[in-house]
Amino acid sequence: MSKRSERRLSRLLEGALKKRHGKNWRRYENVFIFGLLFGCATLAHAVPPLSVQGNKVVSGGQQVSLGGNSLFWSNNGWGGERFYNSGAVGAIKNDWKSSIVRAAMGVDEGGGYLQDREGNRNKVISVVDAAIANDMYVIIDWHSHHAHQYKNEAIEFFQDMARRYGDKNNVIYEVYNEPLDVSWSGVIKPYAEAVIDAIRQVDPDNLIIVGTRQWSQEVEEASWDPIRKNNIAYTLHFYAGTHKQWLRDKAQNAMNNGIALFVTEWGTVDASGDGAVNESETWAWVDFMRNHGISHANWALNDKAEGASTFWPGASGTGGWNDGNLTPSGKLVKSIIQSSDPIPGGDDPGPGPDCGSVSAPGKVQAENYCEMEGVEKENTSDAGGGQNLGYIDSGDWMTYKINVPSNGVYTLSYRVASLNGGGIIQAEKAGGSPVYGSVEIPSTGGWQNWKTISHDIQLSAGEQRIGLAAVSGGFNLNWFDVTQKGGPAPNAITVQAEEYLVMSGVELENTSDAGGGKNVGYIDANDWMSYPEVDIPESGVYTVEYRVASLYGGGVMQFEKAGGDIVYGSVDVPNTGGWQTWKTIKHQVTLEAGKQRFGIYAPAGGWNLNWFKITKGQK
């Protein structure tokens, strides 16, 4: 049972007990709640079945792009086996909003299934049981590059899994991880058909995924000679630093030929599993998967010392992670998974029934969210009646579809009520980045005493998902209104240095600069940060200003496209007199119009950064 479900039960019980026992209800609360929660603890929330419809894998009949994590090889002594447990699975569901986990059971390599069948089988069972308990999909992966050489062992294993889990919609069978350069029609397909037939003797309908030639990249080839069996999808793997538009073209052709794809493994780095994050290509792939309804699992939930790992070495194997445990890849992947589609009808409520696009200027009823976490609806006494959102706690959020007519400054007005005040509501892009601004919630004198508060934010033109997040809770929300403040957007874009999306090497610290908050510090040579997307209104010359501090000087700051493919320019960082003695430096760069992600790189370190500002023209 989710924490939100427990909280809802608690509130329902509180109301029932108050009605039955009046002011003495508290004496019955603990026993009654414990008894009901204990009785409900074993209830399972079934996930919808996954099925192939045309060239899509759909969930409960709905096109989705679900996101999740692949575990590392299960092999004994390889390190990744530490994460094959319920704690790790529960953490990615609850903290990351992962919909999928992949159990990558090593087969023929040292310490794998062929050497220790019972040990590796039990690891898989632990992950599958945890995924079912957390209402997730789980991929049971025969993780081998030579699976066709072990057909009988695969049949035995998958029939065992099908007998154990074939009645659970959660389970997906991946019968061949990554074939090498062997024939699709002569080797891979006949092997897969034999294993599929064996599974279907036990489980008639759960999704089965088949690997494709050349590290599961030749999906187009498979589309020319597809498997003519029920509920079959095909594996596509990519690593953003190596596999670029040419592989997306192959995937598009395969789908055009009628087969459905599932990305059971992907990475932000090179195909070696190492190297730096290629952020621009990662986002190109994410956009491609979302646009085509392709679900995916990122490689790998592990702490091996390589670029593809989610965690730095030494992270816990059972959850309880914070952002300091995350590698640059892990931080980027977490943001991608958190903003992926939820499982339809699952514990995550998914799109609300009244989620429709509202054009600015316009008023949005708070209860007409697209997605949410933690909040509840209740009847309102505010003018106009209807419902408001209540029980808003810290960390709760909602998303909405807004159609913004043009770039500019907009006023967001919120209709709020709060007994005690102290809440903070934050406007952001759905998924949490970038943050547009926040405003404090005052005490209005009661949960149904309503007041309108407002602040100004900058928005780009187009239909988009806007999120409202409770930095601090303790307030109700009835509606919010979006109106253009007038005039074009200011030609200056200010980015707080600590609002990076991914980074390498830097740390945050409190700043004494005007405005307070945090700055980025401990910047050494070769450290870098990359930032969320900003909208450059027109092509031309721009001035980039940086708020810096340095005790010794000698640093160099480079402004670049995120990932480093394009360098726009660099500037020397002077001695400012101290690590918290701040000075603004600047240089001119030439930028193209459009939405872009920028990075800051340190060819030479020894400086702190509080913010940077991009302004049209020369200053």
| pLDDT one-digit tens code per residue, 301-337 | 999 999 999 999 999 999 999 989 999 999 999 989 9
The whole-number pLDDT of residue 491 equals 62
- For the annotated catalytic residues, the residue numbers are 178, 265
Reduced to 3 DSSP states, what percent helix, strand and coil does the chain have, rounded to the nearest 5? Answer: 25, 35, 40
CATH 3.20.20.80 fits 65-339, yes or no: yes
How does 181-206 read in b/e, with b if 16+ C-beta sit within 10 Å? eeebeeebbebbbebbebbbebbeeb
pLDDT at 6: 45
Bond preceding residue 532 cis, omega within 30 of 0 = no
Number of C-beta neighbours around residue 18 at 10 A: 14
pLDDT value of position 538 = 84
pTM recorded for the entire structure: 0.60
pLDDT in tens, 408-461: 889 999 999 999 999 999 999 876 767 888 999 999 999 999 999 999 998 877
Distance CA 242, CA 278 (A): 9
State the pLDDT at residue 355.
Answer: 63
Residue type, 371: E
Q: Taking CA 462 as the corner, what is the angle to CA 459 and CA 464, rounded to the nearest 5 degrees? A: 75
Strands (E) across 26-175 are located at: 50-53, 56-59, 62-63, 67-71, 100-106, 137-143, 171-174
Give pLDDT, residue 353.
52
CA distances from 331 to 307, 312, 565 (A): 12, 11, 21
Where does 358-484 sit in CATH, by number?
2.60.120.260
Judge whether 358-484 and 492-616 match in fold: yes
Average confidence (pLDDT) per 10 residues, the chain, 619 residues: 42 42 40 41 66 94 94 97 96 94 98 97 96 96 97 98 96 98 97 98 97 97 96 98 95 96 97 91 92 96 96 95 93 91 68 66 88 88 89 91 85 95 91 82 95 90 85 95 69 83 87 85 94 83 95 95 90 95 95 88 96 87
The pLDDT score that the predictor gives to residue 463 is 73
What are the structural domain ranges in the chain?
65-339, 358-484, 492-616
What would the CATH number be for the domain defined by 492-616? 2.60.120.260
Give the model confidence (pLDDT) of 485-536 as tens digits.
864 445 678 888 988 877 889 998 989 988 777 899 999 999 999 888 788 8
- Evaluated on CA atoms 238, 242, 247, 248, the torsion sign reads positive
